[in-house]
Amino acid sequence: MSEKNLIESIEKKYIKKNHFPPFKSGDSITIFFEIREGEKKRVQSFKGIVIKKKGKGLTKTFTVRKMSGEIGVERIFIFNQPNLKKIIVNKKGKVRRSKIYYFRLFKGKKARVKSL
């Protein structure tokens, strides 16, 4: 059994595939995910702009950036993470690149993405 087939068989067996609406870089989204604190569970939301999507298959990830006051907060999510509950696409954005790292440099009104 080759290494590729072994990885695929393990992914099929143990990773549950999530189905979310399609989105791309520049889109404004809200992610709802479950947080476990000891015995308690709660659902928390993270609203921001997608900076990049990376990977393929079941190991695909995406990075979301939001401004908390004057501090930029980025978070990386895995598409098939079991604690991801729901993703809502708030606004479709129009950007020319698939990875908008330059977005980190902007503050205030400059840190806006044109909507479709």
Taking the mean position of all CA atoms in its chain, how far away is CA 13?
A: 24
Q: How far apart are CA 12 and CA 15, in angstroms?
A: 6
pLDDT digits (tens, 9 = 90+) for 50-99: 999 999 877 899 999 999 888 899 999 999 888 999 999 999 999 999 99
Burial per residue of 64-95, b for 16 or more beta-carbon CB atoms within 10 angstroms, e otherwise: bbeeeeeebeeeebbbbeeebeebebeeebeb
pLDDT digits (tens, 9 = 90+) for 7-29: 888 877 887 788 899 999 999 99
Which tokens belong to 54? 């990376």
Domains and CATH numbers, the chain: 16-93 (2.30.30.790)
Report pTM.
Answer: 0.85
